[in-house]
Amino acid sequence: MSRRKNPHPKRAVNARTVLKGEKEEPLVLCSKIPDEDDDFEGNHHQIQKEEEEDDDVEQLRRIMCVPRDDVVTEQNQMRKEEETTFIAKGVKRKRGHECDVCEKVFGSQADLARHMRTHTNEKPYECDVCEKSFTQASNLKRHKRIHMNEKPYECDVCEKRFRDSGDLKVHMRIHTKEKPYECDVCDKAFRQSGHLQSHMRIHTNERPYECDVCEKCFRDSSNLKKHMRIHTNEKPYECDVCDKAFRYSQHLKRHKRTHCAL
């Protein structure tokens, strides 16, 4: 019967050493390792002992909540796939705030909830004066300034006043000559993004706004609104000299020249 020497006599097997290869700590799996004088009863006994130690290590791993390396890798990968997704321009965003209708991504659940109203056409904020409804509270607040005739934002160049800061910002581009929105087809530039969108329909020949009376189509909503005055006979522009009214502002301007010529 051969004898086997223990290279580390009287040294206990430490859990941290087995699991991670770190320095030993007080937690011990087995309080005794055979010294060199102990007699091993064949290879069968040695294999059985090693299997028992492996079972002890696995049990300790579960008690200490130390995950296996292959499990960690798989869990991390699954978590990354669940939490993130790539969107336009390679920007990584949270999947949890993505609109399931148009796939637009938002920074918070509240922003997503507000956005969803554009798809559901829900307008929970109603004006108590004219009963007009809005998708956002901020839009209702801005609308109420119409009834109060409140214009808290003033241009420091021409002193023209506006109901909200966005309108003032757009107005300032008249003075600065700034036109940040450029057509990528003909290079024409515009002060407002809405004007660029309307202009692009010239190139695409798109006319999404249709009159529900005569079915005539228009590139933008403002032209449809003006057209509807033909059917409603609305004439909102009135001469302050003779009280004659007109459908369009340019018609009123042309009319006023007749008074100036007199």
Q: For 147-176, what is each residue's pLDDT tens digit?
A: 998 999 999 999 999 998 999 999 999 999
Decide which of 154, 174, 194 is a domain's last residue: 174
For the segment 40-99, what is each residue's pLDDT rounded down to a tens digit?
444 555 555 555 656 665 555 555 444 454 444 455 555 444 444 444 444 444 456 899
The residue-averaged pLDDT of 243-255 equals: 93
Backbone Cα Rg of the chain: 39
| Residue 220 region by backbone torsions, left for phi larger than 0, else alpha for psi between -120 and 50, else beta | beta
The residue-averaged pLDDT of 235-256 equals: 93
Give 243's pLDDT tier (boundaries 50, 70, 90).
confident
With beta carbons less than 8 A apart as the criterion, state whether 257 and 251 touch. no
Question: How much is the pLDDT for 96?
Answer: 66
In a domain, 196, yes or no: yes
- Residue 219's CB is within 10 A of a number of other CB atoms, namely 19
Within this chain, do residues 158 and 192 fall inside the same structural domain, yes or no? no
Instruction: Give the least confident one: 12-21, 96-105, 125-134.
Output: 12-21
In a domain, 204, yes or no: yes
Asked whether the predicted pLDDT for residue 17 surpasses 70, the reply is no
Residue 15, burial from CB neighbour count under 10 angstroms (0-12, 13-18, 19+): buried
Decide which of 129, 147, 174 is a domain's last residue: 174
Give 8's pLDDT tier (boundaries 50, 70, 90).
very low
Within this chain, do residues 253 and 195 fall inside the same structural domain, yes or no? yes
User: Which residue range(s) make up the domain with 59?
Assistant: 13-64
Give me the percent of the chain exceeding a pLDDT of 90.
Answer: 45
DSSP result, 10-30: T-PEEHHHHHH-----S-EEE
In sequence order, the 6+-apart residues with CB closer than 8 A to the CB of 180 are 173, 189, 191
In a domain, 81, yes or no: no
In a domain, 48, yes or no: yes
With beta carbons less than 8 A apart as the criterion, state whether 162 and 168 touch. yes
Instruction: Find how far residue 105's CA is from the centre of its chain.
Output: 3
The highest-confidence range among 47-51, 102-106, 227-231, by mean pLDDT, is 227-231
Asked whether the predicted pLDDT for residue 10 surpasses 70, the reply is no
The residue-averaged pLDDT of 235-260 equals: 92
The residue with greater pLDDT, 223 or 61, is: 223
Question: How much is the pLDDT for 103?
Answer: 87
Number of residues that make up the chain: 262
The number of domains in the chain is 3
In a domain, 152, yes or no: yes
Asked whether the predicted pLDDT for residue 137 surpasses 70, the reply is yes
The residue-averaged pLDDT of 189-197 equals: 93
The helix (H) or strand (E) run that includes residue 135 is none
Within this chain, do residues 191 and 235 fall inside the same structural domain, yes or no? yes
In a domain, 82, yes or no: no
- The CATH number of residue 235's host domain is 3.30.160.60
Asked whether the predicted pLDDT for residue 31 surpasses 70, the reply is no
Cα–Cα distance for residue pair 3/38, rounded to 1 Å: 8
Cα–Cα distance for residue pair 163/152, rounded to 1 Å: 6
Give me the percent of the chain exceeding a pLDDT of 70.
Answer: 63
Within this chain, do residues 101 and 158 fall inside the same structural domain, yes or no? yes
In a domain, 149, yes or no: yes
Question: How much is the pLDDT for 50?
Answer: 57
